[in-house]
Structure 1
């Protein structure tokens, strides 16, 4: 698999798919460069020594201009693949000037550099990570969970922000640009409104091609502006989901203030992800009565996280560690409705979201949510909402 011809073929095939610069090294000697533009400058090679020194199978860095450069290396075979730069937003004229200064590119090559960016596709950071995973599989003949390996989207549970929010409460009793990724935006906002933490995590674990519109010529300012826009939207949907208005706006202010303290785009994007999780958790908590016991809380969370599985009250009871009859009785007593009914309600709410924000067929949705048949799914949906799934999708006014 790792013969010279096989590696060359793999690099060429992948380049033809993603059109990103690739450098292949063997025994520390450059063997292949794609594309071979002949330009007298290189934006990735200057970072090679730093990445090699980390002595990791996969490593990456982000430049000040938010260019991602990645390296995959197999120390045993002395093979390395350098990929990048990968851009998540198209550079402005000011950014190009800064890049020329940073890499000591003579002024006469400005047109060539601009041309390079014009033909360079825009990818999200998460897509970039998955490109690295492909090279890892090729060079090391192994499969890797790239999210876990690189600690992508670390959930810090926003400890410092939570502390600030508590203090403020005591003192005072957001394959192309973002603006045309409307349906993806609405999907993750719906997870927030419903308090669906696991759904939100799964959404961001998929490599959707979502890039941000140009909000600023400065990369750091751009990241902060994106966060501010996201906070505004998230706050609105969290309030719709049941989070009290005062808490929502306090959190909004705190996250914006925290973002202004940061001077690293990656840290800002990480804060944005944690912000979304924080709001979603708070919505989930707000939707559950305060006097709910821990067993019933576990039931609710388990059911919401397993809408795409054929779960029963027995499955829930096994997860909680109580008898089915006892747990069903407590569930009805505390919440006022049957557990079976709640399982069905959660599945149907998930169906509404999929009908609204995805183009999955009714058959696919029925199968995904583990209904016994499409006909049964359509019947229970109409009984619950008064319209068939098809009518619900075609007529927004019935929602």
Structure 2
């Protein structure tokens, strides 16, 4: 047992029992090695990890030697894990932390979300067992889970990374709300939303702390959909709409802002994984802010030149003629 693994055992013993999560150990090909999960739940949760796509993401993470950060991965039912590695073993062991839910899962939503995975009788039995285990599965907020993830990762690797290390790994925003979700302070949510959109208007690339503060205050639009992903998709559609309008107020042309917003909304609708949705939301916010930032750091461009640049950027797959650009800004060729 390496020093990192010994420290991990100590760390687990210090975690409050009401916030307990499990640590799993796999080889780089996804083969099970060991876990702190009780034996009664082990097979069901290991199968959940595999059936819901976690094992495939783990093998991809194991091969990504350039990435030294932890990674949060999601699933179509809102179940989350985090991946890390043990540096002394040179990625010969990959650790998965979880599963957790960010909010109390609703049984009817999970039944809908699990339906595509229960075509065989064997998987149908597994889904029934998973739903039976729901009351025993950890539920903790995004903020708490990410702190534990960084503690585990730093313990295993000896690094001293902060929470911002999760940003580029596609960290997940909060999952669907439950019927018992606590009331939010609407005043604080509104002020946080204003601050977040002002970062877009200003093209302020130092937005991370504002974005994280907003995530902690509100998990999104409190509308329950027919499956666990619907609420996240609705939140991203609303978020993208607000951000695109703020970007236009910051100087981004409507031609670019509308087209970009539509593209991100369509991508959100096509997603089948909560991790992908969260990464998409972060990428969208980052993209709009940097576009406005680019405009503000190049103020010498005339309106006509900027309009031509926008047209070219939106038409990379088409043949662009001088006559088209001239007509766009009211000139003859």
TM-score range for the pair, normalised by the shorter chain length: 0.5 to 0.7
State which of 92, 95, 112 in structure 1 corresponds to 2:109: 95
State which of 104, 120, 123 in structure 1 corresponds to 2:142: 123
Bigger radius of gyration among the two: 1
Aligned-residue offset at 1:133: 3.1
User: Residues 24 and 207 from structure 1, CA distance in 2 versus in 1: closer, same or farther, beyond 3 angstroms?
Assistant: farther
What is the number of residues matched between the two proteins?
Answer: 266
Q: Is the 8 A contact 2:44 2:126 kept in 1?
A: no
Q: Is the 8 A contact 2:203 2:289 kept in 1?
A: yes
- Paired with 1:231 and 1:31, the residues of 2 have a C-alpha distance of 39
- Paired with 2:245 and 2:99, the residues of 1 have a C-alpha distance of 36
Q: Is the 8 A contact 2:114 2:127 kept in 1?
A: no
- Paired with 1:270 and 1:283, the residues of 2 have a C-alpha distance of 20
Residue equivalent to 1:271 = 280
Matches within 5 A, 1:239-318: 239-245=248-254, 247-284=256-293, 290-291=299-300
Residue equivalent to 2:219 = 211
Q: Is the 8 A contact 2:73 2:275 kept in 1?
A: no
- Normalised by the size of structure 2, how large is the TM-score? 0.59
Aligned-residue offset at 1:22: 3.4
- Structure 2, gaps ≥5 residues long: 172-180, 303-333
SS across alignment from 2:265: helix
Residue equivalent to 2:191 = 183
CA displacement, residues 244-293 of structure 1 (integer Å, 9 cap, x when unaligned): 55654444334323433444443333333232233333444555784269
- Paired with 1:31 and 1:275, the residues of 2 have a C-alpha distance of 36
- Paired with 1:207 and 1:230, the residues of 2 have a C-alpha distance of 12
SS across alignment from 2:36: strand
Q: Is the 8 A contact 1:147 1:153 kept in 2?
A: no
Residue equivalent to 2:99 = 85
- Paired with 1:228 and 1:179, the residues of 2 have a C-alpha distance of 22
CA displacement, residues 22-59 of structure 1 (integer Å, 9 cap, x when unaligned): 34799x764633xx595576324653765368646856
SS across alignment from 1:70: strand
Residue equivalent to 2:44 = 42
User: Residues 39 and 86 from structure 1, CA distance in 2 versus in 1: closer, same or farther, beyond 3 angstroms?
Assistant: closer
- Paired with 1:268 and 1:24, the residues of 2 have a C-alpha distance of 26
Q: Is the 8 A contact 1:123 1:211 kept in 2?
A: no
Residue equivalent to 1:133 = 150
Q: Is the 8 A contact 1:70 1:132 kept in 2?
A: yes
Residue equivalent to 1:32 = 36
User: Residues 70 and 105 from structure 1, CA distance in 2 versus in 1: closer, same or farther, beyond 3 angstroms?
Assistant: farther
Aligned-residue offset at 1:120: 1.5
Q: Is the 8 A contact 1:95 1:218 kept in 2?
A: yes
Q: Which has the higher contact order (CA 8 A, sep 6+)?
A: 2
Aligned-residue offset at 1:189: 1.3
Does 2:245 match 1:236? yes
- Structure 1, gaps ≥5 residues long: 155-174, 294-399
Q: CA RMSD in A?
A: 4.5
- Normalised by the size of structure 1, how large is the TM-score? 0.51
Aligned-residue offset at 1:191: 0.7
